[in-house]
Amino acid sequence: MKVVLATPHDYDVIANGELPMDQSERLFEFKPSNHPSVRTRCMVTFRPTGGDEWTGRFVGDYDEPPAISLVCSGAASDRAFVVCAGRAYYVDVGNPDRFEVVGCFPICSTRVVPGARMILLGSFTDLVAYGSNGLAWKAAGIVSDDLNIVEADEQTVTVEGADAASGRTIRLTIDLHTGKRGAPAPDSQEDSQGDG
């Protein structure tokens, strides 16, 4: 499991942690509500500055690849994202019982924009952005499949992916702060029919 701590944060992280050995250690379970099956569990230990260490057991439920697993610092210094086999959780590290399941699945790509304090998470077709106040925006159905975050700066995000209508790979720009789509990026279309 990859750890990306690119924004200021008030905690240390140990990915692929172990189950606590005794009951005095804090263990939290993270899973979507009413989720009957478990394919994968990721263990992550957090050590908040000035707080008690705790371990989280996070449920994931998609194949890797294309889904990913990682721990990423959030835009707020007390928040973190844990992505386990495509399922993303946005966790208050100081109060781990306060978390949300990210409404984008399966997570296949991420991008941190430290200067804008924004975190981007992408599935096959959708993209969500989180800032210091939580979810900033969600852009659904940007592409038909294979969404890839190509680059991001403090103003725009460039993504590419399959466009089923044209049978081509397209490249689009998105406003980092609003999630509004811009025009296709120059030279954005490539013939994807010769790939197979």
Which amino acid is located at 61 in the chain? Answer: D
Q: How many domains does the chain have?
A: 1
Residue stretches of the chain with pLDDT short of 70: 23-24, 34-38, 183-196
Q: pLDDT at position 191, please? A: 40
Query: If 0-12 CB within 10 Å is exposed, 13-18 middle and 19+ buried, where does residue 157 land?
Result: buried
User: Could you report the per-residue pLDDT of 83-107, keeping only the tens digit for each?
Assistant: 999 999 999 999 999 999 999 999 9
Look at the alpha carbons of 163, 147, 67, 135 in this order and tell me if their dihedral is positive or negative: negative
Q: What is the pLDDT of residue 113?
A: 96
The three-state secondary structure class of 116 is helix
**Distance of alpha carbon 145 from alpha carbon 51, whole angstroms:** 42
Interstrand relation of 2-4 and 70-73 (parallel, antiparallel or unpaired): parallel
Token digits of residue 64: 């890797």
* CA R_g for the chain: 18
Residues spanned by the domain of 61: 2-195
What integer pLDDT is reported at residue 24 of this predicted model? 62
Can you give the pLDDT at residue 183? 65
Place of tokens 């690119």: 6
Cβ neighbours, 10 Å, residue 151: 11
